Amino acid sequence: MALRQIRIMGDEKLEKVCRPVKEITDRERELVRDMLDTMYDANGVGLAAPQVGILKRIVVIDIGEGPVVMINPEILETSGEQTGQEGCLSLPGQAGVVTRPNYVKVRATDENGEEYELEGTELMARAICHECDHLDGIMYVTRVEGNLFDVSEQPEEIEDEE
Ligand code: NI
Residue 142, classed as helix, strand or coil, is helix
- In what side-by-side order are the strands of the sheet with 82-86? 82-86, 94-100, 145-150
pLDDT on residue 157: 56
pLDDT on residue 51: 98
Residue 97 CA to ligand 1 centre (angstroms): 14
Digitized pLDDT (tens) for each residue of the chain, 162 residues in all: 799 999 999 999 999 999 999 999 999 999 999 999 999 999 999 999 999 999 999 999 999 999 999 999 999 999 999 999 999 999 999 999 999 999 999 999 999 999 999 999 999 999 999 999 999 999 999 999 999 999 876 555 555 554
Q: Are 151 and 43 spatial neighbours (Cβ–Cβ below 8 Å)?
A: no
Residue 109 CA to ligand 1 centre (angstroms): 20
Q: Are 113 and 24 spatial neighbours (Cβ–Cβ below 8 Å)?
A: yes
Residue 123: φ, ψ to 5°? -60, -40
pLDDT on residue 126: 98
Give the span between the Cα atoms of 40 and 73, in whole angstroms.
21
Q: Please list the active-site residues.
A: 131
Residue 113 CA to ligand 1 centre (angstroms): 24
Residue 88 CA to ligand 1 centre (angstroms): 4
Residue 130, classed as helix, strand or coil, is helix
Residue 33, classed as helix, strand or coil, is helix
Give the span between the Cα atoms of 18 and 32, in whole angstroms.
15
Q: Are 8 and 42 spatial neighbours (Cβ–Cβ below 8 Å)?
A: no
